Structures are given as structure tokens and as C-alpha cells.
Amino acid sequence: MAHPIRHGGNLREAARRYAIPFDDWLDLSTGINPRGYPVPPVPPDAWRRLPEDDDGLADAAACHYGAPLALPVAGSQAAIRALPALLRRGTAGVAPLTYGEYAPAFMRAGHTIATLDVAARDVPDTLDHVIVANPNNPTAERLSRDTLLRWHAQLAARGGTLIVDEAFADVDPAASLASETARDGLIVLRSVGKFFGLAGIRAGFVLAAPSMLDALRDTLGAWTVSGPARHAVETAFADAAWQRETRERLQQDGARLAALIASQGFDVHATPLFAWTPTSNAPELQHALALRGIWTRLFDLPGMTPSLRIGLPGAEGDWARLSRALREIRA
């Protein structure tokens, strides 16, 4: 039996383990914007009526991401589970340290998993499909558009597929491949949970060619995204001023977090929504922070240097608490 995949956000588990009341924790274990979009009240009809596919959400998403077409899904996780069965069975390349749901999903659908070298110029002939997160979670590594489009061309020439997870791409959308998703064999996944801070509504989008979106729609069935979630997302997409201000703030906060961690002597790789530090002392660092009621995400895979991912604090008091804890631990 496969072990369950561990994710951040498991704060109740931490509260039980360390016997610290749930409300006393500072949860930095995810890469979710701590100052999320202020969703206005939900219209009564969003609760009473069944969601309708032609309500404009798909068009709003395509416009927002600059894509030809978009399919709303119950978070990109729903697509990750369903897509492998829609692809020709073969060998899928996945980075050794990335979002942990991809490899199990492809294996369940009968694919073979191979380690992907993200530094390679070309895709090995042995790979039929490639899955990358850009920027990567948790290492913050970024691949250029040119690299990804070259990989797609190589895979598509042999009937393969490139899947790009852009869950953390909203702060710097210039690197997105959304505008290229009319191409067969290219699938881009987007999430509203991270940048908009709306992870709880479970809404995301698949950007791909019409035939792939039709197949995925048939697989997932009707009413994949609830009425209240659709209202929240459409409202957030329409608020260009909030998006602009939030991009600026997250760029500043991401740089601030990276500088704070680096000031304590750690090697830091960062996106605007989280910082990642590989260190042999990562388990001890996570434990020491947890003793102070600060929860972070540990990555401790066999054969790899342990590492810690730390999300953004929100209020100034949270920043001060993290800074004080790091200084104490370092001392």
C-alpha cells in the first residue's frame, strides 16, 4: 500500500504533535498568499442553483491568463489525477524534487516514471511525457519559455506531451506558456489558490487544445467547480487593481523573506510566495521552529539533502515572530 503524500497546511497534525493550541500557531508551511483576495458576499443564487458551464467563468479565465481556451476544474489537483489516463501510455519524466502528486498519478495510469534532468537542453528520446512546475515547488527553479517550447516541440514530434504546472506563476506571468496552449501536446495548469490566497475554494484551470479539454471535461463530468467558488474567482479575475498591487507587494515580501533567511547564514532559493533552503540541519530547524509555534514544510527524501520551505508571514507581528525565532535558533 502506497504511503500518503504529505503536503503543507497540516497544521492540526502539528498542533497535536507539539501540544500547542491550534490558534497559537504561525502557519508558514504552504506557499499561499497570506493576504488573499477579499471575496465579496456570495449572491444567494450561487448557493441555490447548479453551476452552469456557460456562466462566463471559462472565458474570463482564458482572458485572464491570455490563453485561447480554459477549462475550470476543482483545483489543479483534479486535473493532475485525471490527465495521465488520457495520455498515451509511456515514460514520464518528473524532477526528483517537485510537487509530489505527479509521479503517483502517472504510475496509477500505467506509465513508467523516469528522473527528469531540468538542466538538460533537450528531452531524452526515452521520455514520452514531461511534467514540470515553473517555477518549481519547492526548489524555486525556473525554466525559460524557450527551453519549455523546445522541449514541447521535441515531445510533440513523437506524439508526447509537456505538462507545465504554473501554480506559482501569477506574480511574474511573462514566463507563462498560456498563450501557446492551442498547440497539441501542451497542457498548462493554473491555480487561484496561491496568488489569490483562495486555496479553500478548490478552483483551478486547465489550458490546452480543444480536443484535450473535451476529453478532460468528459472524464471529470458536470459541476466540477461550485457556484460560490465560481463567483469568487470571477470577481477576483475582474479586480485588476488588486492584482497589480498584490504583485508588487508579493515581490517585495518575497525578497524580504529571502533576505531574512539568508541573514541567518542559510542558502536561499525563493519565489515571491515562498523561500526554500537546502541544509543538512533542515529536520532540526523545522523542529526548533515548531517548538516556537511556527510550522514549515520539511522535505527529507532518501538520497537528497534535506530542505525546508518557508511561506510568507502576513502581519508585521508574524514577521517579527519569525525573525526572532530564527535569531534564537541560530544563536
Rg (CA), the chain: 20
Q: What is the pLDDT of residues 168-214, one digit of tens each?
A: 999 998 889 999 999 999 999 999 999 999 999 999 999 999 999 99
For the beta sheet containing 112-115, the strands, ordered from the edge strand earlier in sequence to the opposite edge, are 71-73, 204-207, 186-191, 161-165, 129-133, 91-94, 112-115
CATH code of the domain containing 110 = 3.40.640.10
Q: How confident is the model at residue 330 (pLDDT cuts 50, 70, 90)?
A: confident
β-bridge pairing 26-27 and 294-295: parallel
Q: What is the pLDDT of residues 120-133, one digit of tens each?
A: 999 999 999 999 99
> How many CB atoms are located within 10 Å of the residue 115 CB?
10
277 grid coordinates? 533552503
Q: Report the percentage of the chain scoring pLDDT > 90.
A: 92
Q: How confident is the model at residue 2 (pLDDT cuts 50, 70, 90)?
A: very low
Domain boundary among 217, 238, 259: 238
φ, ψ (nearest 5 deg) of residue 242: -60, -40
| Continuous segment of H or E residues that includes residue 58 | helix 57-65
Alpha-carbon distance of 51 to 228, in angstroms, equals: 9
The pTM score is 0.95
Same domain, 82 and 214: yes
Q: What is the pLDDT of residues 303-316, one digit of tens each?
A: 899 999 999 999 99
Asked if residues 170 and 136 have their Cβ atoms less than 8 Å apart, the reply is no
φ, ψ (nearest 5 deg) of residue 244: -65, -50
Which amino acid type is present at position 68? P
CATH code of the domain containing 306 = 3.90.1150.10
Domain boundary among 187, 211, 238: 238
Q: Please tell me the predicted confidence (pLDDT) of residue 4.
A: 54
Question: Mean pLDDT in the chain?
Answer: 95
Same domain, 148 and 274: no
Average of per-residue pLDDT across 244-272: 97
Burial (0-12, 13-18, 19+ Cβ within 10 Å), 183: middle
Alpha-carbon distance of 195 to 282, in angstroms, equals: 26
